[in-house]
A and B are shown apart, each in its own frame.
Chain A
Amino acid sequence: MHAYRQAPWRTRRQTIGLFLAVLVCASMVAALYLSVTSRTAIIGREIQSLESEISANRQRNADLETRLAVLLSNRETERRAREQGFRPASPDEIHYLVVPGYVPPQPVSLAARPDLRVNAPTIPPEYTQSLFEWFDEQMRASTSSSSPVGASQ
């Protein structure tokens, strides 16, 4: 029986290789960490910026609504109507007609109209379904597409 030992250069190469492997791994982890944290910070800043933009837009919407109301105010509307040659009608100028199905104007309803899109799925299935579900879906799809069409006896 012969005793063998590895050549010294081979041992050193293994040590250096192992060290380099650890170094590369550590560098990769560090780079990945740096990349993820920097992106998180950027996105965090974007979220903060968007939140303040949302707040500003809500204020702008309220402001525009009020400006619109000023333009449509009773005094302004009457002024524009008079400028265009309109005048208030007198009772003897009014003619009443029976309109079948006419519904007299009701007080305003300001309730938000239901938006159907809100209930629609907005997140693509790629982000929600598991690998198993995707596989199952693919199987079903392939089964249905390969089923015989018009196969009747």
Chain B
Amino acid sequence: MRKQYAWRSLALAVCFAVIGLSVIAQMVRIQNSEEADFFRKRFDLYASKVETIYPARGEIYDRNGHLLAGNQIVYEIGVTLEAVQNPATIAQALTGVLGVNYEEIYTAITEPPEGQVYLALADFVPADQATALQQLQENLDAQPDDGAPERPSLAGLVFKQHLARSYPENSLGSNVIGFVNYEGRGFFGVEGKYDDLLAGNSVDVWVPVDPYRVEEIPQVPDGTTLILTLHRELQAAAEQILDQALSDYGAASGTIVVMDPRHGEILAMASTPRLNLNEFGNYAQLFDNTSEFNRAISMPYEPGSVFKILTMAAALDAGVVQPDTTFLDTGAIMVGGAKIENWDKRPWGLQDMTGCLQHSLNVCMAWVALQMGPQTFYEYMSSFGIGHPTGIDLLGEAAGRLKIPGDADWYPVDLGTNSFGQGVATTPVQIMMAASAIANDGKMVTPHVLYGMVRDGEQYNIPPQDAGTPISAETAHVLNNMLAVSLENESSEALLPGYRLAGKTGTAQIPTQYGWYASGVTNASFIGWGPVDDPRFMIYVWLEKPTTSIWGSDTAAPVFAQVAEKTVLLLNIPPDSVRQQFATR
């Protein structure tokens, strides 16, 4: 009996052992089978994925920390084709909310390319529209399933959020900021100039799907944040004054630039027309060519009489004339065989150099240039940076044109015409950079819009760049005083009560493509700075083709006064008398 039990037990044990061994054998066989190899390869294929992480584009702030360019959440809306239940509902919903074409969406979903799993239907959808669609999707999902084949459903609709550029101030400072297109590329202004810095570096990251292999995803640093020298309120005021001036004087377009002549910091730079940066697709409707985006740096023009301050600076510095040097103005002068006349074609008699500036006498300035001679004159103009880009940190700066002796198209008469700003093409910032030497003790500064940059929590401020010393400090002081006196004597509309300012008007004829000057249309300009004893601001006004008056003294000068008034208020610059009181305490 006991032996019988032993046999039974042994048989049972063998049976279990065989079963166990067959299970193990089967496991080993499956693990090493071709199918297992196939599945292992499939697993390796889907166990991880390489994702490109794009850092958030760096923000742009004004000098007081107001956000000018940031990022906002937008959505890519697509469909997972397998999950779609009712393509008609999806097409209808997208048409209703996004305004897209019904047929296009319906066809895309019902006739997808072979092998397609996911289909993107719309991108850069604003959050409110995406939320409306998500709400609709939830409402339809919540409805009881009545089994109807054509039951409305947004099943399969997928929302992927990502960041896109956004400009809280819309068109404010648009000509300085520039814009970013849907591909993330910066165009114009700061966005274009510092595109690489702002965009940051994308990183390819191995992201495991297998939770056992999960690793910390490296934090990709955001793009560099930029702080501009712009003063938001002053920029807004400059744009408002410019728009009003175009309306008041019937000008075709205009530019106003406000700069700190001590450091070259651009405080405001307004130009027309301006683009709402959140609607950059309208670019082609607003601009005929790229140079119109920011006239202050991209559109050289013949500046006219504002150029006379450079001629006088060169002559004073070269010792050719003194402020009290006199000139008998007979109303015309021959230079290189051509006759040069005053703006009013009449003689102004005996004038000192201040009088020449005050009455903006072309004949006198041509005589001054002749006294210098072409070599001295053009050497000074070159050291003032005329004919060269200033190096301002904005994309699309034009160099302008200064013909010099030896150029095929330079003629002796050019020395005379150049002396009063004809036959030479400059941008407003070029004149400002040159004039900064007069306002800043002879030292010229490079205009710039970047105040600092923030990366990895550290802020790096950009030091001002010296652009040379074309004239001595003494010359600068003398000319400063001459320009202030000439404004005061002229009772210019550019004067601002309480502040002593220096400046010069400019009225320039506009050359046509055929070589002669158009009649009846001018470029009206004004450059000025103050307070004269401690210049804190320099303002350039350019109105193109004003119709109420062709003269800079009637149009650009009063605009300068308005901008100067706003500038002293917003920059807290007290009147001269108050400053002197404070200084004596």
Contact = CB atoms under 8 A, between A and B. Distances in A.
Given A47-B214, A73-B170, 6 more contacts: A41-B212, A42-B211, A59-B56, A65-B70, A66-B71, A110-B61
B212 A37 contact: yes
B212 A67 contact: no
Contacts of B513: none
A74 B233 contact: yes
Given A59-B161, A67-B72, A110-B61, A91 B214 contact: no
A110 B169 contact: no
A47 B66 CA distance: 36
Contacts of A110: 61, 65, 225, 227, 452, 454, 459
Interface stretch (A23-31, A100-108, A128-136, A143-151): A100-108
A69 interface: yes
A75 B582 CA distance: 35
Contacts of B452: 107, 110
A111 B454 contact: yes
6 contacts: A62-B163, A67-B72, A69-B66, A91-B568, A108-B63, A110-B454
Most buried by A among B56, B67, B170, B565: B67
Interface in B424-440: none
B82 interface: no
A48 to B, nearest CB: 6
Contacts of A37: 212
Nearest to B568: A91
Given A44-B214, A65-B67, A66-B72, A74 B578 contact: no
A63 B64 contact: no
Contact of B56 (A47, A58, A94): A58
A70 B168 contact: yes
A32 B459 CA distance: 52
B137 interface: no
B314 to A, nearest CB: 35
A73 B578 CA distance: 33
Contact of B211 (A41, A88, A105): A41
A-B pairs with the 3 shortest C-beta distances? A44-B211, A112-B457, A108-B65
Interface of A: 37, 40-45, 47-48, 51, 56, 58-60, 62-63, 65-67, 69-70, 72-75, 78, 88-89, 91, 94, 96, 98, 104-105, 107-112
B585 A74 contact: no
Contacts of B162: 59
Given A45-B211, A48-B211, A111-B454, A91 B569 contact: yes
Contact of A96 (B59, B578, B585): B578
A66 B166 contact: yes
A69 B278 CA distance: 14
Interface of B: 56, 59, 61, 63-67, 70-73, 127, 161-163, 166, 168-170, 172, 210-214, 216-217, 225, 227, 229, 232-233, 236, 451-452, 454, 457-459, 461, 497-498, 565, 568-569, 572, 574-575, 578, 582, 585
B172 A74 contact: yes
A65 B163 CA distance: 12
A122 to B, nearest CB: 17
A73 B451 CA distance: 20
Contact of A91 (B216, B457, B461, B498): B498
Contacts of A44: 210-214
A59 B163 CA distance: 7
B70 A104 contact: no
A94 B569 contact: yes
Given A66-B71, A67-B72, A108-B64, A89 B457 contact: no
A91 B65 contact: no
B582 A62 contact: no
A62 B56 contact: yes
Contacts of A94: 569
Contacts of A63: 71-73, 127, 163
Contact of A98 (B163, B451, B582): B582
Contacts of B170: 73, 75
Which of A73, A105, A107 is the most central at the interface, judged by chain B CB atoms within 10 Å of its CB?
A: A107
B459 A56 contact: no
B19 to A, nearest CB: 17
A146 to B, nearest CB: 46
A106 B502 CA distance: 26
Contacts of A51: 216-217
A134 B212 CA distance: 33
A58 B222 CA distance: 10
B61 A108 contact: yes
Nearest to A74: B236
Given A66-B166, A111-B457, A59 B70 contact: no
Contact of A56 (B161, B169, B212): B161
A41 B452 CA distance: 46
Contacts of B229: 107
B578 A62 contact: no
A48 B214 contact: yes
B458 A98 contact: no
A74 B161 contact: no
Contacts of A104: 572
Contact of B168 (A48, A62, A73): A73
Contacts of B578: 96
A45 B210 CA distance: 9
A96 B170 CA distance: 34
Nearest to A89: B569
